Structure 1
Amino acid sequence: MSFVRNLWGALPQKATSYGATAVKLASAAPKRPLNIFPSVLQQRFQSTYEFDPALTATTGEDANADDVARLRKLRNIGISAHIDSGKTTCTERILYYTGRIKEIHDVRGRDGVGAKMDSMELEREKGITIQSAATFAKWGDYNINIIDTPGHVDFTIEVERALRVLDGAVMILCAVSGVQSQTITVDRQMRRYNVPRISFINKMDRAGANPFRIIDQIRQKLKLSAAALQIPIGSEDQFQGVVDLVKWKAYYNEGERGETLAIKDIPEELLELATEKRHELIEQLANVDDEIADIYLLEEIPTAEQFMTAIRRSTIALKFSPVLMGSAFKNHGVQPLLDAVINYLPDPTEVTNTALDAANEEKPVDLAPFSNHPFVGLAFKLEEGRYGQLTYMRIYQGTLKKGSFVTNIKTGKKIKVPRLVRMHSEEMEDVDELGAGEIGAIFGVDCASGDTFTDGTLKYSMTSMFVPEPVISLSLAPKGKETPNFSKALNRFQKEDPTFRVHVDKESKETIISGMGELHLDIYVERMKREYNVDCVTGKPQVAFRETIQESSKFNYTHKKQSGGAGQFGRVMGFIEPMTAEEEGGKDTEFDNRVVGGNIPTNFIPACEKGFRDALDKGPLIGHPVNGVRMVLEDGAAHSVDSSELAFRIATRAAFNDAFAKARPVILEPVMNVAITAPIEFQGTVIGGLNKRKGTVVDTEIQEDYFNVTADVALNNMFGYSTELRSATQGKGEFSMEYKDHQPVMPYVQEELVTEYKKKQQQGTK
């Protein structure tokens, strides 16, 4: 009752508080519900939208009616989830029911074919998605662009760049495992790019499936307002279909591949549960939507149309996530999911995309998603195709035409578009033009991932995507004689994947590759062998240590060198102090110039900053990069003849190293969030193994015969864990891990690392 009182008390203030955004959403809401059709062959949709002349008030005065109608029937969605939740299987069923493919194949390629979206041979062998794959399909009158993303955290950049360009997403959860570690990561990525999502609880046919427990996890672990739009008919191996709480009908998939959707009355035995869950849906919506709150206070039941418009409004406003359920592998519940994508996820006109205007001090500008505006597009993914570089592009406004000229804002180069295609996994369909809101690909355009293209009349640049820092490194050398293919492969992989880095160690002269995990690097080593015929030998994995300080320290350093003729002189004074990372951008190092009175001439200040940056690249303790330090330059001295940029650069670097040693320096190591699932009888052994690796158990959860444990463990202690877990659980345990943060190493470990580094340096000087 307290909820009702609070809501009633708030009603006078919020009765007219929809605001411009809500009016826009309301104008975009479906005017009548869609029908659900009994067969894939009978997809005759009523139009969800009708073009309203008043719409130009919210979408731009020069909006073309045909263009708005096209955009209203377009959805750009991604399918994301934890490893092995059924993303690719679900996409395979979507493609089958929409008529894009004629046969269904298994993900692991047991029939020798493999899923359509896993086009890479390695993906079919390992049964995982490595690269995100794009396709498009037609559901009734609606066009849907779909990107199937990897679940493994090592390929998180693929999810990152897909969500950067999409308007909506389907978050898939396993009906048994529920919210897992990578689900939390995917949720964080969706929030980062403000992507509305539908939650789909998959694998309802599995033993132990409990969708309502998963919905509680979505609310508690992801802090999302969510409610079921469906309840299951039967459970586990008796799962037959779903009851739609919005339309108040039961849906059964019939036919060999579930291609016929039979609509029947709700079974008697499920009426009580359906009524209870519909009431729960109304309560959850009343918390986030004014219209449903009013209906709830009057103790009425919303109509199907009121339900749908409210769910759509709340989902697009990022206040609510509708939850559907089914079993993609057993062909249940996929057609209602497609209808939900149409009904509840936004079209390109309902999403605000912002660019930075380089011609106007990078002032933010909202883009208008219409084809008659100047062209703006973002290259979000690169691939080496059979015919040269394939560049995936999202068109934000304007039209991209074959043979037209576009300008790369970063380089200023004007480029002709030789070939324009729509992707269907590895297959292509040539097109003459792509309109605003579309996702396609172009051939023969040299650019980097994240470059913005325009028609040359605008200097707009899209905001960049988040790129996580690598956490693990390997030394890499070709077997036998080095060939040009070795460097060619490494250059291509770096261009395709911003989380894959390559550098040559100055001391050992070894080629070092860095990435997001062991699997990430293993895949690239395997691809070098298969795609470039370069067999490689890898060294022992090295973790990405960092160095930092725990307290501030002053410096007063003079660099003096005299050897006949002009000498070198530079004096710097100030202090260094710990610095926490900024919330926006994550910057955690800074050079602050506070010199007054010209004691250090202004033309030498940039040289001082370069000296500081040099010191950050290679820390004094073990030669790893330095994080979390601010250097404040307060004073100094210069000589009229002997001072130079080089002198001040050397002086600043030496001053930093001296102050660093006095500021309680510490080595940081990457700590991983490890999630393990195993049968309950092995719980003691698994937790004992984590303790042996000095892990900190964060959470444990028991689900019937299985238990889940989440722990924080240093990456340096995780090597070889997969073999240990398999042997400890008779092959039944599985784990995933993702980078959490860098934390100080134990004091004895720091001593060992410093001693080892000094020994290497002494050997190098001999």
Structure 2
Amino acid sequence: MNFKQEIARRRTFGIVSHPDAGKTTLTEKLLLYGGAIQEAGAVKSNKIKKGAASDFMEIERQRGISVATSVLAFEYEGTKINILDTPGHKDFAEDTFRTLTAVDSVIVVIDVAKGVEEQTEKLVEVCRMRNIPMIVFINKMDREGKDAFDLLDEIEQKLNLKVTPLSFPIGMGYDLKGIYNLHKKNVHLFTGNSSKDIHSTTEIDDLNSAALDELLGSKAAGTLREELELVTGIYPEFNRQQYLAGELQPVFFGSALHNFGVKELLDGFVEIAPAPRPKKAEERLVAPDEKDFSGFVFKIHANMDPKHRDRLAFVKIVSGKFERNTAYKHVRLDKNLKFSSPNAFFAEKKKIVDESFPGDIVGLHDTGNFKIGDTLTSGESLHYKGIPSFSPEHFRYINNADPMKSKQLAKGIDQLMDEGVAQLFTLELNGRKVIGTVGALQFEVIQYRLEHEYGATCSYENLNVHKACWIDTHDWESEEFTDFKRVKSKFLAKDKRGQLVFLADSAFSLQMTQQKYPSITFHFVSEFEPLVQE
């Protein structure tokens, strides 16, 4: 297979949703169709059930939630599919936002009973800003929930999307009879059986045929005819160009738990979803079919295997072919690095790959060379845009609970902060360490992972900080800046990169400081253009 064919057969997408909409269950069922696993795991924390393949961290299995993005790859009917299963919980949103820089399209999962929830709105807004093509999957149709038309209206209004159903439910909950596939014009009957293959798919070319009444009963068939007439009257016809431009969102219905409607979703996705797309670097637009390799680090995971203390940098390949044992340029460090064992992923299972193509995600063993946002190339100096650190909203002092383990604690904090799970600030006044997170649940995850992966115990102390702001000014020697440093000395800290940060204790104090020192700029993300080069 030639290089262009390899690119064309790849689909790299993320699955996003509010917690508990069934995102991880859907991921499992997609893997089941790809033959990647023989039996799908249950996500709820039940010791007897097999754990979900994409929830591979111990804390995820205990809580029944995803706390880190996992990467899963499989083959399906000649298409190479790369799934990034993201955390739905808002406390881990930063990981999800970064992951969205590495996908070419997205599947948004919505719970039929709960409809559009807060976290879904935020994630869809990020996708819309980036014009990422989205497919909507309305899940849990085997339960009682909102009417299909009400749900479609809610998606249009709350998420500001323009939808078109490609499948439509026949009943719901106890009355769920099946799904009509508008795209392929067939009826898929629901048996309530979650076995891998449900063979009751019947072609129905003419909705007025008596075969439909025989299949569903005259009442359900009559309702379906009325509803489909409404669908074709209200919603636009599916147009692939509009979908790829992020202007039209196809909708599928199903039940991931019962493996129902998942095949329609997967078949539809393979047919319409985009192959790897060009990506904007600061210097230029980079196309996937360029000869020279380039890629960027969107995630770092410490301790994929706690026994080996290994640290992996996840690289999304943007252009060219990545080959094992070839020297590539690390743009930020301006040095060449070789990788003898690049990994492809299946949750925590990894295998060494000799070559990878645009759209693929490769794991590179890292001894501390990589930071999130780094670029690797065949030699050109490229910088891919848009992977910032957000201003944390929760802050605590971190203390060592076991003086004998101070080395392990320092190493653990250092590596976990590189992952971007939280941010570390060192106070200028006394050198105390402060951890800032986007969500409060992150503190538990850090404490748990320090103890179980590094053998270090820590305790926290509350710290009254409203917001962390990165500081920038035209003149670092000015009287105004010197006065600011003197007056606010107890609120100043350095982040991991050595950038100066102001930890404002209240919104009022931040406002007053901004007014008093007009020559100083306060940034709420760490990635900004400096006013002057130091």
TM-score, normalized by length of structure 2? 0.84
Residue 531 of structure 1 is aligned with which of 453, 459, 470?
A: 453
What are the equivalent positions in structure 2 for 1:589-628 lying under 5 Å apart? 591=473, 605-608=475-478, 612=481, 615=484, 619=488, 625=503
The amino acid that maps onto 1:375 is F
The amino acid that maps onto 1:95 is L
2:100 partner SS = helix
Residue 109 of structure 2 is aligned with which of 172, 177, 190?
A: 172
The amino acid that maps onto 1:395 is I
Tell me by how many angstroms 1:74 deviates. 1.3
Match of 1:262 in 2: 200
Match of 2:299 in 1: 381
1:489 partner SS = helix
Match of 2:89 in 1: 152
What are the equivalent positions in structure 2 for 1:744-759 lying under 5 Å apart? none
Cα 1:507/1:200, change in 2 over 3 Å: same
CA distance in 1, matches of 2:505, 2:286: 37
CA distance in 1, matches of 2:32, 2:487: 54
The CA deviation string for residues 571-600 of structure 1, in whole angstroms up to 9 with x for no partner, is xxxxxxxxxxxxxxxx9x7756xxxxxxxx
Conservation of the 8 A alpha-carbon contact between 1:617 and 1:625 = no
RMSD over equivalenced CA pairs, Å? 3.0
The amino acid that maps onto 1:84 is D
State the aligned residue count: 487
Match of 2:257 in 1: 329
Match of 1:344 in 2: 272
2:7 partner SS = helix
Cα 1:590/1:432, change in 2 over 3 Å: closer
Match of 2:359 in 1: 437
Match of 1:133 in 2: 70
2:442 partner SS = helix
Tell me by how many angstroms 1:433 deviates. 0.7
The CA deviation string for residues 295-343 of structure 1, in whole angstroms up to 9 with x for no partner, is xxxxxxxxxxxx5xx2x22210111111111111122111111012112
1:214 partner SS = helix
CA distance in 1, matches of 2:300, 2:513: 41
The amino acid that maps onto 1:380 is F
Whether 1:181 aligns to 2:124 is: no
Using the aligned pairs only, state the percent identity: 25
- Which stretch of structure 1 is more off in the superposition, 503-512 or 188-197? 503-512
CA distance in 1, matches of 2:515, 2:128: 40
The amino acid that maps onto 2:478 is C
CA distance in 1, matches of 2:222, 2:351: 50
Match of 1:314 in 2: 242
Match of 2:530 in 1: none
Match of 2:516 in 1: 660
Cα 1:660/1:214, change in 2 over 3 Å: same
The amino acid that maps onto 1:615 is F
CA distance in 2, matches of 1:613, 1:112: 61
1:539 partner SS = strand
TM-score, normalized by length of structure 1? 0.59
What are the equivalent positions in structure 2 for 1:75-474 lying under 5 Å apart? 75-110=11-46, 111-252=48-189, 256-264=194-202, 265=204, 266=212, 267=216, 268-282=218-232, 286=236, 307=238, 310=239, 312-348=240-276, 351-357=277-283, 365-370=284-289, 373-384=291-302, 385-386=304-305, 387=308, 388-444=310-366, 446-456=369-379, 458-474=380-396
CA distance in 2, matches of 1:232, 1:613: 66
Q: Point out the structure with the larger helix share.
A: 1
Match of 1:492 in 2: 415
CA distance in 1, matches of 2:478, 2:103: 43
The CA deviation string for residues 525-550 of structure 1, in whole angstroms up to 9 with x for no partner, is 11111111112221135342479xxx
Conservation of the 8 A alpha-carbon contact between 1:407 and 1:455 = yes
1:411 partner SS = coil
Cα 1:127/1:104, change in 2 over 3 Å: same
Conservation of the 8 A alpha-carbon contact between 1:474 and 1:539 = yes
CA distance in 1, matches of 2:418, 2:491: 29
CA distance in 1, matches of 2:352, 2:365: 11
**Runs of 4+ residues over 3 Å off in structure 1:** 253-256, 265-286, 504-510, 589-592, 616-629, 656-659
The amino acid that maps onto 1:76 is T
The amino acid that maps onto 1:269 is K
The amino acid that maps onto 1:369 is P
Tell me by how many angstroms 1:141 deviates. 1.6
Cα 1:420/1:508, change in 2 over 3 Å: closer
What are the equivalent positions in structure 2 for 1:709-728 lying under 5 Å apart? none
Q: Which has the higher contact order (CA 8 A, sep 6+)?
A: 2
Cα 1:109/1:102, change in 2 over 3 Å: farther
Tell me by how many angstroms 1:70 deviates. 2.4
What are the equivalent positions in structure 2 for 1:475-486 lying under 5 Å apart? 475-481=397-403, 482-486=405-409
1:227 partner SS = strand
Cα 1:376/1:106, change in 2 over 3 Å: same
The amino acid that maps onto 1:98 is G
The amino acid that maps onto 1:389 is R
Cα 1:139/1:628, change in 2 over 3 Å: same
CA distance in 1, matches of 2:481, 2:159: 41
Tell me by how many angstroms 1:241 deviates. 2.3
Cα 1:436/1:659, change in 2 over 3 Å: closer
Tell me by how many angstroms 1:185 deviates. 0.9
Conservation of the 8 A alpha-carbon contact between 1:131 and 1:158 = yes
Tell me by how many angstroms 1:627 deviates. 12
Tell me by how many angstroms 1:507 deviates. 4.7
1:178 partner SS = coil
Conservation of the 8 A alpha-carbon contact between 2:108 and 2:136 = yes
Conservation of the 8 A alpha-carbon contact between 1:161 and 1:381 = yes
Tell me by how many angstroms 1:214 deviates. 1.8
CA distance in 2, matches of 1:613, 1:88: 52
Cα 1:200/1:261, change in 2 over 3 Å: farther
Cα 1:543/1:416, change in 2 over 3 Å: same
The amino acid that maps onto 2:440 is E
Cα 1:490/1:102, change in 2 over 3 Å: same
The amino acid that maps onto 2:185 is W
CA distance in 1, matches of 2:491, 2:390: 23
Tell me by how many angstroms 1:274 deviates. 4.1
2:189 partner SS = strand
